[in-house]
Structure 1
């Protein structure tokens, strides 16, 4: 199948392209600066900007399906407006080009729970893409665990750098982290499931846990110890966003929206995608070890009890 990938220089897009090529798809990518893109062999590269109508029409020509993985959060506080315009421009061009299917990766979270500005923006983009001639498959996920994930990197740095943390109540919010390998598998395999065209599906890892547990387990894997985490009701998410900026090197434009979104539970409510794609999900600890690579602590050797030899 001829597919176009947008957002290819981002975390998910960078992992997705090699898998699409390995699956024998005819892959094209859209980038803003071709000179800055280190392209793998076997794909076509088009230069254009979704914020500039007409600059990317050629990339959509002949595409049967497209992945919409664009996100402007790193661009600054006006990211929601930029994402709104980019999605609107993409819909117009994709419909003109006759694209049949579009796949979008958005965020979990119930709209009735007053989503954060960041999650509201992701949901708004989803609604814009859904109001098009092409069939949209929207996959919603929580924190994605992998090397290069901004949300995981924020969690990892907090867990590793602070043996004792005074945190707001959001650390008790439930989430369902998923490994980047599993996200990519879903994104690739969905192309071959026509029943999922025009549907919204939710994806998550094998375990639901609190952000407190996510940080504790991550610290234990990386450093060999679990941090002491003390939730304090008076510490608001907004205040903790400034605290995260001081403790981690995650850009403020990224850290603040992510932290403010941690008040929303992000757990799979509808796992119907597994009726079509019952992939073997990666355990959280395995995903973290893959993400940190050589940064993982060597586990203590376990003693062999009597009778276990």
Structure 2
């Protein structure tokens, strides 16, 4: 199958491209700067920007399926408008090119009036893409655990830099994180499962945890010590965003929208994907250990009490 990956330089796209190659797909990518992308052997590279009509359409010629992995949040304020315009341009171009299928990785969360700006933007992108003349498959995920994930980077740095944390009330919010390896496996597998076309699915790992439990587990794996987490009621999402900005290196433009969505539970309520794509899900502890090993260049002990290797 001829497949196009947008966002190929990102956290998910960078892992998806080699996985698609390993599955014997004909892979091309769309990047904004060809000189800053080192493609795997066999990948065709197109340069363009979905915000600029006329710059990217050639990448869609003769494509069977396209992965839409573009999000504008990291570019600062106004990401909602950028995401909407980018999705509209892409849907129009993909429809004109005769693309049969588009796959979009969105965010997990209940559709109600309390959606954060981040999740509202994801839902708007889903709506815009759904207007295209192709089958749209949406996978909704909560925190993706892996080296390079902004959400997990916040968790890792908080757990490693603050042995005692005075935290916002959102540490009691429940979340269903998923390993990046499982996300990639889902994305590749659905290409061969026709029943997943033109539908929306929720994906998550096997563990439902609070953010407090995630911080504690990550801290134990990092140092062998359990961080002390004390939630307090007066730290609003906005105040806690300033706190995260001070303690971690996650850009404020990314941290603020993410934290805004941490006040409501994000867990899988529809697990139909499990019967269509029956993969073995990775436990949170295993996913964290792999992410830390990749990020830190160390071997994390399986008993979660020690770290071996040079720091």
- Normalising by structure 1, we get a TM-score of 0.95
Residue in structure 2 matched with residue 38 of structure 1 by the alignment: 38
Superposition pairs of residues 47-86 of structure 1, within 5 angstroms: 47-86=47-86
Distance (whole Å) between structure 1 residues aligned to residue 302 and residue 205 of structure 2: 23
Structure 2: segments with no counterpart, 5+ residues? 306-311
1:215, distance to aligned residue in structure 2 (A): 0.8
> In structure 2, what is the Cα distance between the partners aligned to 1:281 and 1:158?
26
Number of residue equivalences? 302
Post-superposition CA distance 1:199-245 (Å, at most 9, x none): 00000000101011011101111111111111111110110000000
For 2:254, the equivalent position in structure 1 comes to 254
Does structure 2 conserve the Cα–Cα contact (< 8 Å) formed by 1:77 and 1:253? Answer: yes
Aligned counterpart, 1:194: 194
Secondary structure of the 2:112 match is: helix
Q: Which residue of 2 aligns with 1:305?
A: none
Q: Is the 8 A contact 1:7 1:13 kept in 2?
A: yes
Alignment-derived partner of residue 177 in structure 1: 177
Counterparts of 1:178-257 in structure 2, within 5 Å, are: 178-257=178-257
Contact 2:6 2:66 in 1 (8 A): yes
Mapped pair 1:135 → 2:135: yes
Instruction: Classify 1:300/1:51 alpha carbon distance in 2 versus 1 (closer, same or farther; 3 Å).
Output: closer
With over 3 angstroms needed to count, the CA separation of the structure-2 counterparts of 1:202 and 1:300, relative to structure 1, is closer
**Map 1:102-121 → 2, pairs under 5 A:** 102-112=102-112, 114-121=114-121
Report the secondary structure of 1:11's partner residue. coil
C-alpha separation in 1, matches of 2:163 and 2:123 = 35
Relative distance call for 1:98 and 1:10 in structure 2 (3 A) is: same
* C-alpha deviation, 1:7, in angstroms: 0.6
The runs of at least 4 aligned residues of structure 1 exceeding 2 Å deviation read 294-302
Tell me, in whole angstroms, the C-alpha distance in 1 between the residues paired with 2:77 and 2:264. 20
Task: Tell me how far apart the structure 2 counterparts of residues 236 and 76 of structure 1 sit (CA, whole Å).
Answer: 21
For structure 1, which segment, 139-148 or 290-299, has the greater mean C-alpha deviation from structure 2 after superposition?
A: 290-299
**1:150 alignment counterpart:** 150
What is residue 19 of structure 2 aligned with on the other side? 19
Shift of 1:295: 4.4
Structure 1 portions without partners, runs of 5+: 303-309
**What is the SS of the residue equivalent to 1:139?**
strand
Q: TM-score, normalised by structure 2?
A: 0.95
Computed over aligned residues only, the root mean square deviation of the Cα atoms, in angstroms, reads 1.3
What is the deviation of 1:112? 1.7
Checking the alignment, whether the CA contact within 8 Å between 1:164 and 1:227 is kept in structure 2 is yes
SS at match of 1:9: coil
Q: Secondary structure at the match of 1:279?
A: coil
Distance 1:256 1:40, change over 3 A: same
Distance 2:256 2:51 in 1: 24
Q: Distance in 1 between matches of 2:131 and 2:263?
A: 29
Shift of 1:259: 1.1
Following superposition, the deviation at residue 300 of structure 1 comes to: 6.6
Post-superposition shift, 1:296?
A: 5.7
Does the CA-based 8 Å contact 1:222-1:296 persist in structure 2?
no
Q: Which residue number in structure 1 is paired with residue 308 of structure 2?
A: none
CA distance in 2, matches of 1:37, 1:12: 15
